[in-house]
Structures are given as C-alpha cells and as structure tokens.
C-alpha cells in the first residue's frame, strides 16, 4: 500500500528509482513520483497521476546520484499530479507510506503558523514539520517531527544540497540494502531483487541515513544500532513473467511448487509449533480477504482432525468487538504479506489478552513475524499480482499440516501417500483445466453466484472474491443450502451459478441447489471432482471436472479452478488482472 524506494550511489538515481518503483507497483498504482538531487545540490522533482510508467519519458532528463520515489494508493486526496509524492516545503522533500492520523490538527496549526499547503494529502504535513524543525541537521529534525506524528509511516526525506536520504520507520515496512558503492532503502524486497547482496529489516522507531558510502541505523533515541544483515536471495529472474502474459497466470502455475515447498518448510517449524500449541483448547483464525478465506478452511481442519472448537473471523472485525480470549486459546494470524495492519493489530490484541499467536505468512521477517510466538511459513515466493493465488493455496496446505500436527496424528501411510501425490494432482489440474466456456458465460452475465457446502462453501467465497476483484463482474458466495432462504430471488436467465461439489456425502444436497437454480431459468456450472456428479448433471450444466481428490484436500484443487475462472474472465473483459482498479497489495492502512 504505497511503495517507496531510495537510492544513493555511483549510478543513475532516476533509473534505479524508476526500476524500483516498477517492482513495487503492486503496492499502489494511481500516481507516482520521484525526487533526485543533481550534482549541484538542487533537487529535481517529477510526479504524475497514473501508473509508474508515466514517469518514463522524464527520467532521461534527471541527472543525479541520490534519489527517492513513490508509487501511490490514495488514502487522503484523489489521485492527481498534485497529490502524488514527493511533497515538499522549503527545500525538504518527503515520500511517505502510511497514514498520519492527526494530520488535520497538524495542518491547522501549520497554516496558522503561515505554512501554505498545495495538496489534499495527509503526508504534506510531514514536509512542513521537518522544514520548521530543521536547524541544519536532517536527522534531528526528523526525530523531532516523529514525536509529533500519530499513525503509521515509512518515510524517506531529502534536503536540498545534501547527498543523502534520511529514513524513519514506524508501523509501515522499510528495509535497507547494502550494495557495492551504492545503497538502497525500500518498502519491500522485490524492489531490491538482484540489486544488492545483503539487506536489513528496520524495526519500529528506527531511523537511518543512507549515502553512497554507508548506511547508518539509529534507534528511536538516535543511538546508533546494528540490525541483522541477511542474504538478499530474491533475484530479478524470479520476478519475471516467465513467458506468461500476466503475473496472475504465472503465479497460478506456481501452485504445485508452492505446496511442495510449504510441506518441506513445515518440517523445520513442526516441533516449535507443537510446543506453542500444547494445552490449546480453542483456535481462532484471523485474516483479511483471501487470507480470511484460508482461515475458514483451517477452522474446519482443526474441528475435524483435533475435535476442538475453532472459529475464523475477519481481523478487522475482531479488533473492535472486545473479543473474549482466554488462556488456552491459540490464534492463527494468516497473512500473505505479513504487513496487513488489521491482522497485525488483531494478533497483538489477542496476544495481550493471553492467547498464543501463530503467524502463517509468506514473507519471512515481515512485521507479523516479529510479534508472535511462532511462525509457520507459506513458501510461495514473491507474489506480485495484487490478487492472491498461490499464497492462498499455500496457506491452506500449511493449515492442513498445523491441524494434523496439533491433532497429534502421525501422518498415516495413507495420508502420507495423499500428501506426496498432491503436487502432482495440482499440476494435472493446471494442465487440464478448461474454463473458457464458463469464463465467457461469466463475462456476459449480470451476476455470478458461487455456491457450496462445507469446504466447498469456503472455496465458493474465495471464488467470488477473486472473480469480482479481477473482472469486476458482480458476484457473491453463498452456502448452497441458504439459496432457498433468499438468494433465489436474484436468479434469472442473466445469472450464472457456479456450484462446487467435491464431497460425495454432501453431493445430493448440493445437486438440489443446481436443480432449484435451473428451474428458475438460471445458468449453472458445476465444479466437481466426482465423476458421478458430472455424469448426472451433464447436459444441464457446464461441467468442470477436476481430478479425483480426498475431500480434505479438495479445496486446494478447486481453488485452482476458481482462480483460473477469475483470470480468464478478466482477460475476456480486457481487465488488467495484475492491477485491479482501486486496489493494492499489502494493506498497511486501517
Ligand atoms: C484478494 C487479496 C486480499 C488479501 C488481503 C489480505 O485476492 O489478495 O483479499 O488476501 O488484503 O492480505 P494479506 O494476506 O497480505 O494479509
């Protein structure tokens, strides 16, 4: 949610910043900008409404070896050239990711003090405050300013005449990267892929000064500190499209590898997890959007395998409901990015009330990993498409293993066989899936309803979210049994109902829902791994037949079908599935 990048070195700052912004575009793409210090000390700024590529025609004209940039997801003030970052005041230039909650009050005071504002953003107050607080030392000015801010901020600041960048991190992610004769700072790892060998993750309250020669890090009291340096394993090749037209398709194709890697990584954390979970009497899954949907499946795994009470809740709701938490509760915070503000705050709240908290995340060293008792990795690798695909399936795989481990089930030879065969089954699904006809039906429809029971209902919710997110076709997910309690009123010949049926015990009931929709003139598609269901409904509904699958593992297989459907529908409608309108990945604001 907004991406920022800074560069200081012997290279061309504008080119480095531009490249970094392209790599951070998944965090926001409604406007972009950069500031570069020319050798003379003068700062050149370019900022424009639109995706990062709007800056490309200008970068050849910007000379300088120190610079910083921003790609925006608007929170305060509509996307426009003026609201784009950097913001400046009196020779101070600022890029900001986060929200300044007390900006209105600060702005009022600053205006009363004679400052003039030109944007509608919350971020502009920071530039004015630093200007007024600066007596020649940019770091102490930033330190003084930090004490006046309420909210979340990853900040980079430049000052005319100074060939360095001052940074500050508080509740928005920021890393620094150590190169050869050049140094970097950025919101996230992809920006630095292939750029430097080592990185450090800054902690809340940290300041840093970045120049071509060195990176100096200071804690909240401006005392110099060292933060651990780790290998920067992400390469530029890993971030490529690998021959696919979109990241969404590329990442969907990476599902089998994700599941295999997640299984392998789980062995390293299994013992620690068992220890943290010992004595657990109830589990709660927290997450937002797709991660919440993975939690719904985790809940079922724990109920089924461990026979203990389990709940799943939107992290954003949990935070504000005065939750009832007791010792003996374990909370799984599910988050791809490890940065989602609502999930982090909900996890912290649960921890403060006495719960054991476990993060299930795709990003090692992300913010969530630093505030929990244990971390279960999802080994999906970088996910660039704004819509989650492989990470969702990886989360389900991780939660499956968590539930089995907690239930104390040594994996039986039968289960082991199922698990070891799963990546191949997922690959087979990817190779054979054909949703083109259904995607055309959805693209032409007035609304798509995803229906299912049990595990299928959880996947139905995710199918619906994915479809509306990337294709903008109106869609809802419902329990198949609830159809007759209201939703049937929506069914007509312009609607498509996609019914998921993967559990033979529930199949007859879900088939009733198919018949009820057909009787009212609605179009129906059935996603099933049960040949008997396919046979019975052939000719009545569009059938997507998946490989036969154990019912507990079916969500991983049917997830591929609904993700592929969303992707194909988006492409038919000419949408950009990687950057859906109004959205961004890593939702660091509340
Ligand atoms: C949907 C999607 C979002 C995220 C949600 C949580 O495709 O990607 O719903 O799942 O914003 O993000 P994380 O998992 O990073 O906490």
Ligand 1 centroid to Cα of residue 185, in Å, is 24
359 ligand 1 Cβ < 6 A = no
Residues of the chain with pLDDT under 70: 410-411
Q: Whose alpha carbon is nearest atom 7 of ligand 1?
A: 387
288 ligand 1 Cβ < 6 A = yes
Q: Is 205 helix (H, G, I), strand (E, B) or coil?
A: coil
* Residue 331 near residue 307 (C-beta atoms within 8 A): no
DSSP β-bridge partners for residue 47: 33
- Give per-residue pLDDT as tens, 257-311: 999 999 999 999 999 999 999 999 999 999 999 999 999 999 999 999 999 999 9
Residues annotated as part of the active site: 2, 585
Task: Report the number of secondary-structure helices (H) and strands (E) in the chain.
Answer: 17, 24
Alpha-carbon gap, residue 158 to 409, rounded angstroms:
57
In order of 131, 456, 529, the CA distances from 550 in angstroms are 63, 13, 9
Start-end of H helices in 121-223: 124-133, 138-146
Q: Which two tokens stand for residue 248?
A: 């969404």
Tell me, rounded to whole angstroms, the distance of Cα 40 from its chain centroid: 40
Q: pLDDT value at position 289?
A: 98
Q: Which two tokens stand for residue 268?
A: 């390293």
**What is the best residue among 288, 294, 366, 466 to mutate for testing ligand 1's pocket, by most ligand atoms within 8 Å of CB?**
288
The continuous run of DSSP H or E covering 167 comes out as strand 165-170
**What proportions of the chain, in percent to the nearest 5, are helix, strand and coil?**
40, 25, 35
Q: Which two tokens stand for residue 429?
A: 């699904």
Alpha-carbon gap, residue 358 to 84, rounded angstroms:
37
Ligand 1 centroid to Cα of residue 519, in Å, is 36
588 ligand 1 Cβ < 6 A = no
Quote the pTM value: 0.95
Q: Beta strands 151-159 and 282-287: pairing type?
A: unpaired
Alpha-carbon gap, residue 444 to 446, rounded angstroms:
7
In order of 6, 56, 473, 531, the CA distances from 449 in angstroms are 45, 42, 11, 23
- Give per-residue pLDDT as tens, 463-517: 999 999 999 999 999 999 999 898 899 999 999 999 999 999 999 999 999 999 9
Start-end of H helices in 26-137: 56-59, 103-112, 124-133
Say what angle helices 455-471 and 289-301 make with each other, to 10 degrees: 170
Tell me, rounded to whole angstroms, the distance of Cα 247 from its chain centroid: 14
């Amino acid at each position: 949610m907004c991406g920022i990048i800074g560069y200081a070195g012997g290279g061309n700052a504008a080119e480095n910043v531009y490249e970094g912004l392209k790599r951070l575009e998944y965090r926001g793409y409604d406007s972009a900008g950069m500031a570069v210090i020319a050798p003379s000390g003068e700062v050149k700024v370019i900022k424009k409404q639109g995706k990062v590529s709007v800056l490309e025609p200008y970068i050849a004209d910007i000379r300088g070896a120190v610079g910083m940039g921003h790609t925006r997801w608007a929170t305060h003030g509509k996307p426009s050239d003026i609201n784009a970052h950097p913001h400046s005041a009196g020779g101070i230039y600022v890029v900001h990711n986060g929200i300044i909650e007390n900006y209105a009050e600060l702005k009022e005071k600053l205006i009363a003090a004679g400052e003039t504002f030109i944007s509608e953003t919350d971020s502009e107050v920071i530039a004015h405050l630093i200007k007024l607080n600066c007596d020649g030392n940019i770091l102490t000015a930033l330190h003084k300013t930090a004490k006046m801010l309420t909210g979340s901020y990853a900040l980079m600041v430049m000052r005319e005449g100074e060939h360095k960048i001052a940074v500050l991190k508080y509740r928005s992610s920021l890393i620094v990267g150590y190169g050869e004769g050049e140094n970097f700072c950025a919101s996230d790892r992809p920006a630095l892929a292939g750029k430097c060998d080592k990185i450090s993750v800054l902690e809340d309250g940290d300041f840093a000064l970045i120049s071509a020669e060195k990176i100096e890090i200071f804690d909240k009291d401006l005392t110099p500190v060292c933060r651990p340096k780790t290998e920067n394993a992400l390469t530029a090749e890993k971030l490529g499209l690998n021959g696919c037209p979109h990241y969404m398709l590329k990442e969907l194709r990476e599902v089998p590898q994700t599941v295999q890697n997640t299984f392998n990584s789980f062995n390293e954390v299994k013992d620690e997890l068992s220890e943290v979970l010992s004595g657990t009497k109830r589990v709660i899954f927290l997450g937002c959007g797709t991660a919440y949907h993975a939690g719904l499946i985790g809940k079922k795994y724990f109920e089924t395998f461990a026979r203990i009470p389990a709940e799943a809740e939107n992290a954003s709701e949990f935070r504000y409901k005065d939750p009832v938490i007791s010792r003996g509760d374990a909370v799984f915070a599910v988050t791809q990015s490890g940065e989602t503000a609502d999930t982090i705050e909900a996890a912290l709240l649960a921890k403060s009330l006495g719960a054991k908290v476990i993060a299930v995340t795709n990003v090692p060293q992300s913010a969530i990993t630093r505030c929990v008792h244990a971390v279960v990795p999802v080994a999906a690798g970088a996910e660039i498409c704004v819509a989650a695909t492989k990470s969702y399936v990886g989360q389900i795989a991780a939660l499956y293993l968590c539930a089995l481990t907690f239930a104390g089930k040594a994996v039986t030879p039968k289960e082991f066989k199922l698990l070891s065969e799963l990546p191949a089954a997922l690959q087979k699904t990817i190779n054979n899936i054909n949703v083109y006809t259904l995607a055309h039906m959805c693209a032409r429809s007035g609304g798509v309803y995803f229906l299912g029971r049990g595990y299928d209902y959880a996947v139905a919710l995710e199918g619906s979210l994915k479809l509306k997110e990337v294709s903008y076709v109106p869609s809802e997910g419902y329990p198949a049994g609830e159809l007759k309690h209201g939703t049937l009123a929506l069914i007509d010949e312009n609607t498509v109902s996609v019914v998921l049926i993967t559990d033979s015990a529930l199949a007859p009931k879900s088939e009733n829902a198919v018949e009820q929709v057909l009787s009212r003139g609605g179009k129906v598609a059935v996603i099933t791994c049960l040949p008997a269901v396919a046979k019975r409904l052939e000719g009545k509904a569009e059938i997507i037949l998946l490989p036969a699958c154990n019912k507990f593992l079916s969500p991983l297989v049917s997830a591929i079908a609904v993700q592929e459907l969303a992707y194909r529908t988006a492409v038919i409608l000419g949408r950009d599935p990687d950057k859906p309108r109004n959205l961004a990945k890593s939702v660091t604001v509340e």
